[in-house]
Chain A
Amino acid sequence: MRAVITVIGKDMVGILAKVSTTCAEANANVIEVTQSVLQEFFCMVMLVDIAEMNCELGELNERMRNNVPGMTIHIMHEDIFNSMHRI
């Protein structure tokens, strides 16, 4: 069971740290991170293992919003991408 976390917003210090700390607190293991900064925009896609997570995805979403304010964050189960883009 894996989920995709995407973070988009104005670049600032400590975004990656805050996101990964929140994941660690929820016992979600970070598997892969891709990030880029285009002009001043920070864009990150993170793949996390949620099999052993200690809370629901909705709860993680809520915590993420509180811990990393000012960024647009989506947390979605990977199935939605697989079913949409794979036959």
Chain B
Amino acid sequence: MLNMSDIVETITMIQDENLDIRTITMGISLLDCCDSDIDRSCEKVYEKIYRCAKDLVKTGCDIEQKYGIPIINKRISVTPIAMLLGASGGDPLKYALTLDRVAKDVGVNFIGGFSALVHKGFSPGDKELIEAIPRALSETEFVCSSVNIGTSKAGINMDAVRTMGRIVREAAELTADRQCIGAAKLVVFCNAPEDNPFMAGAFHGPGEPDCVINVGVSGPGVVRAALAKAGDDLDLTQVADIIKKTAFKITRMGQLVGSEASKRLGVPFGIVDLSLAPTPAIGDSVAHILEEIGLDMCGAHGTTAALAMLNDAVKKGGVMASSNVGGLSGAFIPVSEDAGMIEAARSGVLTIEKLEAMTAVCSVGLDMIVIPGDTPAEIISAIIADEAAIGMVNFKTTAVRVIPAIGKNEGEELEFGGLLGQGPVMKINKTSPAKMIKRGGRIPAPLHSLKKYIGEG
């Protein structure tokens, strides 16, 4: 029988603590849309996406009504377009415009997959696609782009890293009149997951089924509130336990919504991404969880340890709640999307160096960080290389989504609006890494043997 306090708890989570389903993302394979003629290829892409996703938004809204839980975004991820471009040739922009058109027609919030996987090298289509990214992001509204430049198995493609520094800058420059929004829709990955439902890095990996539903949950506010209710006397073991229990409940909801959506759409259910994804709304911040744990402000010494515990507890609690877990799964730390992080960055307590350390234990990487507009491309490349190295060595996904604020400097801010929020321009180290970046080549994959484990002689 239903218990009154359980009912009240669920309603409080949704109404007062910003619990929501962040996204239902439909992954669609476009491999069967390949054609040697790019116009024909685009036509097939439009038809297939429209056919698969025409009911996605309506289904999302129906489920929202049934369970009374907000589903913030409905999105689509597709096969990395570079794979189609390799066969069709032609102007990659045509694909971007096609994706944008179909996204608009089916009513989704974003479509991800203007992507290339180049961690070991470039195949036909990859270079052309990468060069077209800035234009694609500036001339479309819904399209998101990502490039995978490294993996723990293949190492880091430093030629791609060098290129991406320039591409990130160009994406910002071309959209300088729109708060440099282009760079906010571009993610550079190491160890990119194939089933991630979150933007801007979502794409539908080649190992995925034809069509699949992935769900991303949210709920930093719920975790913070649970910790606040528990009080200050708990030790960190007990704190971790509370986070696990809360993550369990949040994930169960994701599982329910995902399986319902998959049933209604007649599409297999892929994964639940157990992520604590913040929004700029007050009370929906990962930084505030860390502060609730006991830091005066996010970015203080101790932040990395608290985040490591949070990230791990979220996974432990969530794993049991869902039959299939995947994607990025963990705590996100996108600066401009998190009220607590914005505050900490403004006050100078949270620095880019601290964020880099945090990315070694969080679920993704340097995310939504606004950097000075005059930052040279090679420094952006070097930021990408550092972040990729952390991912490569630690077998985790890392990513870089920095936004050069063209024409702005420290002390000024960019305002993206909506879920992307706003962010102060952060101070970066301007010492030049140009010579290293210019070398290019590949950083070889790390050795996985000869590690020093505990207990080893």
> In the complex, A80 Cα to B9 Cα: how many Å?
12
Cβ of B255 under 8 Å from chain A? yes
Query: Min CB distance, A71 to chain B, in Å?
Result: 13
CB contacts (< 8 Å) of A4 on chain B: these are: 2, 7
Which residue of B is nearest A80, CB measured? B67
**Complex contact A56–B4 (CB within 8 A):** no
Contact with A along B1-14 (1 / 0, CB 8 A): 01110111111000
Count contacts between A and B, CB distance < 8 Å: 60
Which residue of B is nearest A43, CB measured? B8
CB contacts (< 8 Å) of A58 on chain B: these are: 62, 65-66
B3, B67, B255, most chain A CB atoms within 10 A:
B67
Cβ of A77 under 8 Å from chain B? yes
Pick from B8, B65, B68, B253: contact of A84, CB below 8 A.
B253
> In the complex, A77 Cα to B11 Cα: how many Å?
12
User: What is the predominant secondary structure among interface residues of chain A facing chain B?
Assistant: mixed
Which residue of A is nearest B5, CB measured? A85
Pick from B8, B62, B68, B255: contact of A76, CB below 8 A.
B68
Contact with A along B287-329 (1 / 0, CB 8 A): 0000000000000000000000000000000000000000000
Which residue of B is nearest A3, CB measured? B66
**Complex contact B7–A6 (CB within 8 A):** yes
Interface residue count for A (Cβ, 8 Å)?
22
Cβ of A34 under 8 Å from chain B? yes
CB contacts (< 8 Å) of B6 on chain A: these are: 81, 84-85
B6, B65, B255, most chain A CB atoms within 10 A:
B65
Within 8 A of A (CB), among B1-41: 2-4, 6-11, 15
CB within 8 Å for A83 and B255 given contacts A4-B7, A6-B11:
yes
Query: Min CB distance, A10 to chain B, in Å?
Result: 17
CB contacts (< 8 Å) of B67 on chain A: these are: 76-77, 79-80
**Complex contact B66–A77 (CB within 8 A):** yes
Cβ of A19 under 8 Å from chain B? no
**Complex contact B2–A81 (CB within 8 A):** yes
CB contacts (< 8 Å) of A80 on chain B: these are: 10, 67-69, 253, 256
> In the complex, A57 Cα to B11 Cα: how many Å?
17
**Complex contact A61–B65 (CB within 8 A):** yes
Within 8 A of B (CB), among A56-87: 56-58, 61, 72, 74-85
Cβ of A23 under 8 Å from chain B? no
CB contacts (< 8 Å) of A47 on chain B: these are: 2
**Complex contact B4–A84 (CB within 8 A):** no
Cβ of A45 under 8 Å from chain B? yes
B9, B10, B62, most chain A CB atoms within 10 A:
B10
Pick from A34, A77, A79, A85: contact of B249, CB below 8 A.
A85
Query: Min CB distance, A5 to chain B, in Å?
Result: 10
Query: Min CB distance, A19 to chain B, in Å?
Result: 16
Query: Min CB distance, B317 to chain A, in Å?
Result: 12
> In the complex, A34 Cα to B1 Cα: how many Å?
13
Contact with B along A33-56 (1 / 0, CB 8 A): 010000000000101000000001
CB contacts (< 8 Å) of B11 on chain A: these are: 6, 74, 76
A6, A47, A85, most chain B CB atoms within 10 A:
A85
> In the complex, A45 Cα to B6 Cα: how many Å?
12
**Complex contact A83–B66 (CB within 8 A):** no
**Complex contact A75–B68 (CB within 8 A):** yes
Within 8 A of A (CB), among B81-114: none
Within 8 A of B (CB), among A1-25: 4, 6
Cβ of B252 under 8 Å from chain A? yes
CB contacts (< 8 Å) of A84 on chain B: these are: 6, 10, 249, 252-253, 256
> In the complex, A57 Cα to B63 Cα: how many Å?
10
Which residue of A is nearest B255, CB measured? A83
> In the complex, A85 Cα to B321 Cα: how many Å?
11
> In the complex, A77 Cα to B260 Cα: how many Å?
12
> In the complex, A56 Cα to B255 Cα: how many Å?
23
CB contacts (< 8 Å) of A77 on chain B: these are: 66-68
CB contacts (< 8 Å) of A83 on chain B: these are: 252-253, 255-256
CB contacts (< 8 Å) of A56 on chain B: these are: 62, 65
CB within 8 Å for A74 and B253 given contacts A6-B7, A81-B6, A81-B10:
no
> In the complex, A61 Cα to B62 Cα: how many Å?
13
**Complex contact A85–B253 (CB within 8 A):** no
**Complex contact B66–A57 (CB within 8 A):** yes
Given contacts A57-B66, A80-B67, A80-B69, 5 further A-B contacts (CB under 8 A): A61-B65, A74-B11, A76-B11, A83-B255, A85-B3
Can you give 9 A-B contacts (C-beta < 8 A)? A45-B7, A47-B2, A57-B65, A58-B66, A76-B68, A76-B69, A78-B2, A84-B6, A84-B256
A residues sitting closer than 8 Å to B (CB atoms) are 4, 6, 34, 45, 47, 56-58, 61, 72, 74-85
